[in-house]
Amino acid sequence: MKNIHINYVEFKAKDLQKVKAFYSGVFGWTFTDYGPDYTAFSKSGLEGGFEKTENDIANGALIVLYHQDLEAIQQKVEQAGGTIAKNIFSFPGGRRFHFKDPSGNELAIWSDK
């Protein structure tokens, strides 16, 4: 994995079973479940996942970049005028944080370190 490359795309979904059936049936994607509220997909050209939500979905895609040093890249984000939307947190497979760029777009950066 390379630092600051787009590495993952995360979508929201109201019904994970329906979304898995749709994307596997139409496009041949495969899925790995991580608990009742998350499923990851592969064989799509870019890896990603679906997170279950009960909220209305206005902008359902979250672009996730990779960086091996979250603390250093978070500092660069903030120094460049980005704002932290979610502080660094752990999840199965690593850690990540979310930020908003100066236009308000929310992205995330993750690390397996």
For residue range 30-63, what is the model confidence (pLDDT) as tens digits? 999 999 999 999 998 889 999 999 988 877 789 9
The predicted-structure confidence for 49-108, as pLDDT tens digits, reads as follows: 999 999 888 777 899 999 999 999 999 999 999 999 999 999 989 999 999 987 788 989
Q: What is the mean pLDDT of the chain?
A: 91
Length of the chain: 113
Fold entry, domain 9-60: 2,3-Dihydroxybiphenyl 1,2-Dioxygenase; domain 1 (3.10.180)
* Structure tokens, 109: 């950066």
Classify domain 67-113 by CATH number: 3.10.180.10
The model's pTM: 0.77
Give the residue-averaged pLDDT of 6-14: 91
The rounded distance, in Å, linking the Cα atoms of 11 and 76 is 26
The β-bridge partners of 94 are: 91
What CA–CA distances, in Å, run from 32 to 27, 35, 50, 104, 106?
16, 10, 10, 31, 25
* Nearest one of 110, 106, 61 to 83, comparing CA atoms: 106
User: What residue spans in the chain does CATH classification 3.10.180.10 cover?
Assistant: 9-60, 67-113
